[in-house]
Amino acid sequence: MKPMRALLILAAVSLAAPAVAQTAPPAPVLVPGLLAPPAATWQFNAFLVQQEQARQEAIRQQNEALRLEGQARTEQAIATIQAQRSAARPAPPDVSGPPPYPQLDASQLPAISDKALAESNQRVLDASGEPPR
């Protein structure tokens, strides 16, 4: 989520950067006894209004980016919770009936005598070169 937040903030700042980078023109010079030229005052006021509009637009864009980020986080959290709720759980085993596994009869398994196992173990040890234990 953090890369997405950084991307949204970067987009908002990059859109607002040109308006913020502008500087106010110098204030009209007023000579005592003379009125300020109406065109200069009007231009200065228009520029101030333009700067304020740009500032408000940057704030609006930042608020929108933060709102979208919060909405995305909320939707992700809801999806995670729904996925956890609907995770398939295995059915509990039915213990009332016969066991589901086959019954083994140990008498039917092949049997190897202890002597045969000891001889086989000795041959393996001799082949590996390890001393007997």
Integer angstrom CA distances of residue 109 from 21, 102, 105? 88, 14, 7
- What is the number of other CB atoms lying within 10 angstroms of the CB of residue 28? 14
Q: Give the pLDDT of residue 16.
A: 66
Query: How far, in whole angstroms, is CA 22 from its chain's centroid?
Result: 36
Which structural domain range is residue 8 located in?
2-23+40-85
Q: Give the pLDDT of residue 45.
A: 85
Number of domains in the chain: 1
Q: Considering the domain boundaries, does residue 49 fall inside one?
A: yes
The predicted model gives 28-48 an average pLDDT of: 70
Enter the DSSP assignment of 107: G
Q: Considering the domain boundaries, does residue 76 fall inside one?
A: yes
Q: Considering the domain boundaries, does residue 93 fall inside one?
A: no
Q: Considering the domain boundaries, does residue 8 fall inside one?
A: yes
Q: Considering the domain boundaries, does residue 105 fall inside one?
A: no
Distance CA 9, CA 5 (A): 6
The answer to whether the predicted template modeling score (pTM) of the entire model surpasses 0.85 is: no
SS3 45: helix
Q: Considering the domain boundaries, does residue 6 fall inside one?
A: yes
Q: Which of 58, 71, 56 is nearest to 5 (CA)?
A: 71
Q: Give the pLDDT of residue 29.
A: 59
Average pLDDT, the chain: 79
Q: Considering the domain boundaries, does residue 59 fall inside one?
A: yes
Residue 22 confidence class, pLDDT cut points 50, 70, 90:
low
